[in-house]
């Protein structure tokens, strides 16, 4: 396939149909999609990653945040990463009722993506699709994760601002919260703040963040919201707008390096057929002298 040179120009000018087709080219690894990626223009779009446990209200928060951005005359792209349907392998929650107000808005583009079995809670091509979205002349690109596994840490390598959503019922989450989550969160949002125990939860989170402030004097904001009624959303958007994003920081360079590393890994692995590997494994594993590392070494040599 020959990628048309006018693709970039078309979705830069607001052609969402071309943008949607371009995402599909990348998702399905259509021949020539790499040419499209190599032709992407630099962009100042800010990437906002929103993650948190299922049921925390991520979709409601995104819906309310879009409203604030549109009122501020901004152009918004949204990528919603959903669980994979076991039947059609697509996004299980593709039709997002909570964001239905924005589907036909000329300044809002929403695309649902499935995890396709990715353990990190993100789409396997999320890096490439995000960079494509950045080139589409948006002011903000919001990525909502499925909220499982390592998605909180994975999204930090992709986003300029990482939002971690919690709810008052998540007291146990705070007790078991990994230090990695504390380090990747740029802003914490306590949603459903009208529920019992919200103030105690807020205080507990502040206490947990104490050691983090010793290492990094830059305080992590905690915003209280009730997304369904838009409470706290203006303050939340203000925190995003005024966030000091230092692209040259040591932390950010490490995260970008992880993106590059991931792209190289995927490129190295593209010629390995997982199903064929399983078939070969099912035969060799029956041998008494089977060695996992020798088996893997054959595939490592093939990818070099």
160 and 285 belong to one structural domain: no
The predicted pLDDT at position 63 comes to: 93
65 and 145 belong to one structural domain: yes
Instruction: Please give the C-alpha separations between residue 52 and each of 133, 185, 270, in angstroms, as whole numbers.
Output: 22, 11, 31
62 and 129 belong to one structural domain: yes
239 and 108 belong to one structural domain: yes
Residue 154 in any domain: the answer is: yes
239 and 289 belong to one structural domain: no
204 or 233: whose pLDDT is higher? 233
Tokens 């589409």 belong to residue = 136
Q: Which long-range contacts (C-beta less than 8 Å, at least 24 apart) are formed by 245-252?
A: 245/46, 245/160, 245/161
For residue 282, the enclosing domain spans 273-303
Which two three-digit tokens encode residue 112? Answer: 């649902």
Q: Tens of pLDDT along 157-187?
A: 788 898 988 888 765 555 555 555 666 788 9
| Residues forming a β-bridge with 156 | none
For residue 3, give every residue at least 6 positions away whose Cβ sits within 8 Å of its Cβ, in sequence order, or none: 25, 32, 33, 35, 36, 39
Tokens 């490490």 belong to residue = 254
Question: Distance between CA atoms of 270 and 299, rounded to whole angstroms?
Answer: 12
The predicted pLDDT at position 86 comes to: 42
Residue 24 in any domain: the answer is: no
203 and 71 belong to one structural domain: yes
Q: Tens of pLDDT along 65-121?
A: 999 999 999 999 999 887 654 444 444 454 456 677 888 899 999 998 876 555 455
96 or 131: whose pLDDT is higher? 131
Given a cut of 60, is residue 258 above it in pLDDT?
yes
Q: What is the mean pLDDT of residues 145-157?
A: 64
Residue 107 in any domain: the answer is: yes
69 and 210 belong to one structural domain: yes
Rg (CA), the chain: 21
Q: Pick the closest to residue 174 from 208, 150, 200, 148 (CA basis).
A: 208
Q: Pick the closest to residue 128 from 18, 260, 245, 248 (CA basis).
A: 260
Given a cut of 80, is residue 247 above it in pLDDT?
no
pLDDT band at residue 248, thresholds of 50, 70 and 90? low
- Going by the DSSP 8-state scheme, the letter that residue 42 receives in this structure is P
3-state secondary structure of 240: helix
Q: Tens of pLDDT along 192-225?
A: 999 998 998 898 888 887 765 555 556 789 999 9
Question: Distance between CA atoms of 237 and 257, rounded to whole angstroms?
Answer: 28
Q: Tens of pLDDT along 281-291?
A: 999 999 888 88
280 and 246 belong to one structural domain: no
Instruction: Please give the C-alpha separations between residue 84 and each of 23, 49, 81, in angstroms, as whole numbers.
Output: 17, 20, 9
Question: Distance between CA atoms of 113 and 84, rounded to whole angstroms?
Answer: 9
């Amino acid at each position: 396939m020959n990628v048309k040179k006018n693709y970039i120009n078309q979705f830069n000018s607001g052609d969402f149909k071309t943008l949607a087709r371009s995402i599909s080219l990348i998702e399905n690894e259509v021949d020539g999609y790499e040419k499209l990626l190599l032709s992407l223009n630099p962009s100042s779009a800010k990437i906002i990653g929103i993650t948190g446990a299922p049921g925390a209200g991520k979709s409601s928060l995104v819906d309310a945040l879009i409203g604030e951005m549109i009122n501020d005359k901004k152009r918004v792209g949204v990528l919603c990463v959903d669980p994979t349907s076991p039947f059609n392998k697509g996004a299980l929650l593709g039709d997002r009722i909570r964001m239905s107000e924005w589907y036909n808005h000329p300044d809002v583009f929403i695309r649902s993506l499935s995890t396709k079995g990715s353990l990190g809670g993100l789409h396997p091509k999320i890096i490439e699709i995000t960079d494509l979205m950045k080139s589409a002349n948006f002011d903000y690109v919001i990525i909502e994760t499925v909220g499982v596994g390592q998605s909180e840490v994975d999204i930090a390598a992709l986003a300029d601002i990482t939002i971690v959503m919690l709810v008052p019922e998540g007291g146990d989450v705070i007790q078991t919260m990994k230090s990695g989550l504390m380090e990747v969160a740029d802003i914490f949002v306590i949603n459903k703040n009208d529920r019992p125990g919200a103030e105690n939860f807020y205080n507990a989170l502040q206490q947990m963040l104490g050691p983090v402030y010793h290492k990094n004097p830059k305080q992590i904001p905690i915003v209280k919201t009730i997304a369904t009624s838009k409470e706290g959303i203006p303050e939340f958007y203000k925190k995003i707008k005024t966030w000091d994003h230092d692209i040259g920081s040591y932390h950010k360079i490490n995260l970008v390096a992880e993106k590059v590393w991931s792209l190289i890994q995927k490129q190295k692995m593209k010629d390995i057929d997982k199903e064929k590997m399983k078939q070969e494994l099912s035969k060799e594993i029956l041998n008494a002298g089977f060695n996992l590392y020798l088996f893997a070494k054959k595939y490592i040599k093939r990818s070099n």
